[in-house]
């Protein structure tokens, strides 16, 4: 079974600075997808970014980018120029039959 | 498009009562799934369906039943509610089972069992 580990229960960053959220996973598959989801206080799950395991190039979506290290089974999320609206829970997820989620990182943005 | 809708938004049950959480999508998605989210946890997969008439168990299926009679609807049934089923429940759908497809989530149902 796949497992996803987020070792940072909470992170805090000053507005406009950069923050990196960590995620590691365990799988025996060679082809898979990884995702980062954002969950604001409204509790709606919002897809932030996705990465295909067979692609070596790291995915980027505006201020959000990932550092995907397949051999190390690591998938960190970098948020540049942090904004107050980025404050939320962030979940790393691996997709097999469904999504396997980590326990989440609570991101606090300090004004 | 309404996307993925869930009803009710909130529900309180007594131990032993039964109820059905409704989920519907209007995107003609083949794949639908149910997750539960407990405090301090990520979402965990309860059941999923890859098309009408086909369902399968996820990570935490005990105490829950599902059926898929139409492409649009995927209800989740609690036959005899227990306090351990107090949670927030999310329904999600995607075009298919393939890992590349984005899953779209409903707004969630907060269930309390007393």
- How are beta strands B10-13 and B109-113 bridged, if at all? parallel
Closest CA to B51 of B29, B22, B34, B77: B29
The alpha carbons of chain A give a radius of gyration, in whole angstroms, of 13
pLDDT, position A56:
83
With cut-offs at 50, 70 and 90, classify the pLDDT of residue A29.
Answer: confident
pLDDT, position A111:
94
pLDDT exceeds 90 at position A55: no
pLDDT digits 0-9 by tens, A78-88: 999 999 999 99
pLDDT, position B34:
97
Is residue B83 within 8 Å of residue B113, measured between CB atoms? yes
- Max distance between CA atoms of chain B, in angstroms, equals 40
- Which residues in A lie closer than 8 A to residue B45 (C-beta atoms)? 97-100
pLDDT, position B42:
87
Residue in A with minimal Cα distance to B48: A98
Residues of B with CB under 8 A from a CB of A: 33, 35, 40-45, 48, 56, 58-59, 88, 90, 92, 97, 99-100, 102-103, 105, 107-108
- Which residues in B lie closer than 8 A to residue A102 (C-beta atoms)? 42
Instruction: Report how far residue B21's alpha carbon sits from residue A16's, in angstroms, rounded to the nearest whole number.
Output: 41
High-pLDDT (> 90) share of chain A, %: 84
- Which residues in A lie closer than 8 A to residue B92 (C-beta atoms)? 45, 99
**Average pLDDT for consecutive 10-residue bins of chain B (114 residues)?**
93 97 96 94 93 94 97 97 97 86 94 97
Strand partners of residue B22: B7
How far is the alpha carbon of A99 from chain B, nearest alpha carbon, in Å? Answer: 7
């Amino acid at each position: 079974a796949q497992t996803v580990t987020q070792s940072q229960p909470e992170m805090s960053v000053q507005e406009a600075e950069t923050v990196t959220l960590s995620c590691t996973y365990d799988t025996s598959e060679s082809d898979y997808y990884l995702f980062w989801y954002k969950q604001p206080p409204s509790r709606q799950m919002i897809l932030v970014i996705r990465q295909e395991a067979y692609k070596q190039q790291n995915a980027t979506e505006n201020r959000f980018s990932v550092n995907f290290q397949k051999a190390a089974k690591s998938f960190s999320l970098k948020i540049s120029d942090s904004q107050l609206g980025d404050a939320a829970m962030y979940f790393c997820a691996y997709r097999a039959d469904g999504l396997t989620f980590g326990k989440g990182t609570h991101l606090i943005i300090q004004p | 498009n309404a996307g993925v809708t869930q009803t009710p938004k909130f529900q309180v049950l007594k131990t032993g009562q039964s109820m059905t959480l409704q989920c519907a999508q209007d995107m003609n998605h083949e794949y639908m799934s149910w997750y539960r989210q407990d405090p301090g946890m990520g979402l965990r997969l309860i059941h999923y369906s890859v098309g009408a008439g086909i369902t399968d168990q996820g990570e935490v299926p005990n105490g829950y039943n599902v059926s898929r009679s139409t492409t649009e609807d995927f209800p989740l049934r609690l036959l005899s509610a227990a306090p351990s089923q107090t949670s927030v429940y999310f329904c999600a759908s995607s075009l298919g089972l393939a890992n590349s497809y984005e899953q779209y989530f409903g707004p969630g149902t907060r269930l309390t069992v007393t």
